[in-house]
Amino acid sequence: MIAAPSALADGDPASDVLVSFTYFDPIDLSLPPATTAELSAVLAASARAGFPIRVAMIASATDLGTATALWREPKTYADYLDLELSNLFGGQILVVMPNGFGLAGPSSGAHALGAAELAVKALAPGPGPQLAAAALSAVPRLAAAAGHPIPTAELDAALHTVAHERAVPAGSAPLEELLALLIGVLLIGSAWAASLRARPWQPRSGAQV
pLDDT tens-digit readout, 28-52: 888 888 888 999 999 999 999 999 9
Q: Please, which pLDDT band fits residue 146 given cuts at 50, 70 and 90? A: confident
Structural domains in the chain, CATH included, are 5-167 (3.10.310.50)
C-alpha 76/C-alpha 100 separation (Å) is 12
Sequence-distant (6+) residues with CB within 8 A of 60 are 26, 28, 71
Segment holding 141, helix H or strand E:
helix 130-145
Cβ neighbourhood burial of 116 (10 Å; 0-12, 13-18, 19+):
buried
> What CA–CA distance (Å, rounded) separates 132 from 31?
8
Q: What is the pTM assigned to this prediction?
A: 0.71
> Dihedral of CA 80/82/87/89: which sign?
positive
Query: Whole-angstrom distance between the N-terminal and C-terminal Cα of the chain?
Result: 87
pLDDT at 185 exceeding the cut of 60: no
- Could you read off the pLDDT of 56-107 as tens digits, one per residue? 999 999 999 999 999 999 999 999 999 999 999 999 999 999 988 999 988 5
